[in-house]
Amino acid sequence: MNNTPLRLLIHGASGRMGQALLRLAAEDSSLEVVAAVVRRSPPQRVIDGVPHFAAGELGSVPVFDVAVDFSLPEGFDPVLALCLQRRAGFVSGTTGISAMQQAALADAATRIPLVWATNFSLGVAVLADLVERAAASLPGWDCDIVESHHVHKKDAPSGTALTLGAAAQDGGADPRYASLRAGDIIGEHLVQFTGLGERIELVHRATSRDIFARGALHAARQLNGRTPAFYRVRDLVAPAD
Ligand code: NAD
């Protein structure tokens, strides 16, 4: 049995998700964060035993197995390029990336194992499945997706709303979107199917960011050592062969 910890690079380490990733990784002896990357110069070189680097210093980070990126679209390209250069795995939850960045991901997946997902929670994976089934069973009904997030969230509709919308389209619906930005809401998604005189509401509420961070760390563990491909979260639920 291999007891060597998986060497992680956490990109976007000072953000809300980055902080959750660092905290959860520190509690897990199978993981070692060898580099935490923040946008600007870090206040200290080593924080809680984890070496910190500025985004401009990506080229000098030590050897790592998988990068976990929860940053913003402007930070996405350099960390993907680094993973390609180092032949490392790439786990990204960064939302709001452009069509060009999506294409770069698909291209990178021919050379490294990677997963990019708008939501790493198990509940949302199940919700997407329910939405597709409801859409397929309710032809002609209106389908509306209402998402609510904290006031700091930049992209709208949320990446998760778009993922749920794609599931609704797969079932034959034509979804519309509405976005609310209020207070400190971590993330709520309501998918509503409305017919004549009746309505179905499917709702997911995140009450802790840890669900996304745990899912991303699980994905990193499962991705390590896989052949290059664009994996989905649900591909990584089962242990690697
Ligand atoms: P945040 O604003 O708290 O953190 C963003 C982090 O990215 C900060 O540390 C910032 O310094 C860093 N950053 C910004 N520009 C950068 C650059 N050019 N280079 C390097 N780092 C840079 O945001 P958050 O709430 O932690 O969310 C981060 C991302 O994760 C967002 O895109 C959000 O939508 C997404 N998210 C995804 C999931 C999921 O499950 N897929 C869940 C929650 C959040």
- In tens, the pLDDT along 207-231 reads 998 999 999 999 999 998 999 999 9
Show the CA angle centred on residue 77, arms to residues 60 and 108, nearest 5°: 100
Give the fold, CATH level 3, of 6-116+210-236.
Rossmann fold (3.40.50)
Closest CA relative to residue 137, chosen from 161, 166, 168, 162? 168
The mean pLDDT of 113-138, rounded to a whole number, is 93
For the chain, give every domain's residue range.
6-116+210-236, 122-206
Mutate to test the pocket of ligand 1, among 53, 70, 124, 186 (most ligand atoms within 8 A of CB): 70
Mark whether 154 is an active-site residue: no
* CATH H superfamily, domain 122-206: Dihydrodipicolinate Reductase; domain 2 (3.30.360.10)
Mutate to test the pocket of ligand 1, among 74, 95, 189 (most ligand atoms within 8 A of CB): 95
pLDDT digits (tens, 9 = 90+) for 12-49: 999 999 999 999 999 999 999 999 999 998 889 999 99
Closest CA relative to residue 128, chosen from 173, 83, 85? 173
Instruction: Name the one residue in this structure whose structure tokens are 């960064």.
Output: 94
Domains 6-116+210-236 and 122-206 are alike in CATH topology: no
Res. 2 pLDDT band, cuts 50 70 90: low
Closest CA relative to residue 93, chosen from 112, 111, 75? 75
pLDDT digits (tens, 9 = 90+) for 146-201: 999 999 998 999 999 999 999 999 999 999 999 999 999 999 999 999 999 999 99
pTM of the model: 0.88
Nearest atom in ligand 1 to 93's CA: 41
